[in-house]
Amino acid sequence: MDRQFLLAPGPTPVPEEARLAMAKSLIHHRGQEFRVVFGEVRERLGWLFETEQPVLTVTASGTGTFEAAMINFTKRSDTIICIGGGKFGERWGEIGRAYGMNVVDLDVEWGEAVDPQQVADALDAHPDCAMVTLTASETSTGVLHPFEEVAEVIHDKSDALFAVDGITAVGVHRVPMDASGIDILVAGSQKAFGIPPGLGFVAASERAWERAADSDHPRYYFDLAREKKKQLDDQTAFTPGITQIIAAQVVLRMMVEEGRDALVARHQVNADATRAGVQALGLELLASRPANSVSAVLVPEGFSGPDVVRTMLDKHGATIAGGQAHLKPRLFRIGHIGFFDRSDILNALSALELTLEELGMDVERGRAVAAAQGVYADNLL
């Protein structure tokens, strides 16, 4: 194949405007030109997070930003409740254990959304809880958890901080940090932003920053108080990912120009079209409450998720994602997060039809594409 299609839920395709910006001569991170760029990025991140608090940029993966969020706003003796339901929801607990904290796992079946009553019950059982964590859009299962309802329960019943992984939610769904009562919100560059991996974004509420003064976890690179002081002056504590920050300036301008509601609507329509297409082929979604970032699709009995992923790439040049952990044999995932349009989704569904046929499934050619076209016809983008 001459052309490759990246349809994973991250990294996502980088818009041409951002690629061209990154190809320019490198600037120095202590110069005035960088400060102007970074100041604009900080302002527009606040717009996207819907917060009056500073949104910090950390040169790290999403997991690094998770870790920074955990160790800056808790103490080693704290009890934290980690809502599971997928690989990334469970990762919060893994980080907490690595730092010797008392982690309470709130188990949620993969593919299901957490019931806010489960959170209420866990808080009743652990009244000393200092933090509750949740992955809003669980990339491993395609589930969107009811983060606003969970926030309401937490603040009604406790003084615990609410930390949210918004890595595949921010820029896809509205995640109004301040209005929702989220205390800590993290995101990553390689998802809805369409920037190469390497930047994490984290914002914290005023009361979270008050707790930070009491944190006793060891940290150096991930000292967010030091980072905050520097970034309020449009600088970073250490050498940042300069080219990615330049790309962020471009992409955030594109997002602001498109508008929050239009950004969310585009993701909604692309997700609806993808889901309509796979369901028209008789396939089932794993998620009971689907997110608009990724569709996690169950393969029929007798077929293999890894075979679908491999054939999509080898025969049709389309990179999709496989299932994770115990779902690896039974699942494949199609990403529709970031700067996708209808042609990307229709190409993906056409390749999926051919892939399933090549693997021996009885497929009516054009059925998935027609179903998606119907969605687009009803929702002109």
Smallest CA-to-CA distance from 367 within 272, 303, 269, 276 is with 276
H-only helix segments in the chain: 16-22, 32-49, 62-72, 87-98, 116-125, 147-157, 177-180, 206-212, 224-231, 242-258, 260-280, 305-316, 342-358, 367-378
Average pLDDT over residues 39-61: 98
List domains and CATH numbers for the chain: 16-257 (3.40.640.10), 259-378 (3.90.1150.10)
Average pLDDT over residues 121-150: 98
pLDDT digits (tens, 9 = 90+) for 236-270: 999 999 999 999 999 999 999 999 999 999 999 99
Average pLDDT over residues 226-239: 98
Helix (H) or strand (E) holding 115: none
Distance of CA 232 to the CA centre of its chain: 25
CB 85 within 8 A of CB 110: yes
**Chain-wide mean pLDDT for the chain?**
97
pLDDT (0 to 100) of residue 53: 98
| Residue 358 in this model has a pLDDT that exceeds 50 | yes
pLDDT (0 to 100) of residue 380: 72
Instruction: Report the C-alpha gap between 178 and 167 in whole angstroms.
Output: 17
pLDDT (0 to 100) of residue 183: 99
pTM for the model stands at 0.96
For residue 92, the one-letter residue type is W
Reported confidence tier of residue 224, pLDDT bands at 50, 70, 90: very high
**Residue 266 is labelled as binding a ligand:** no
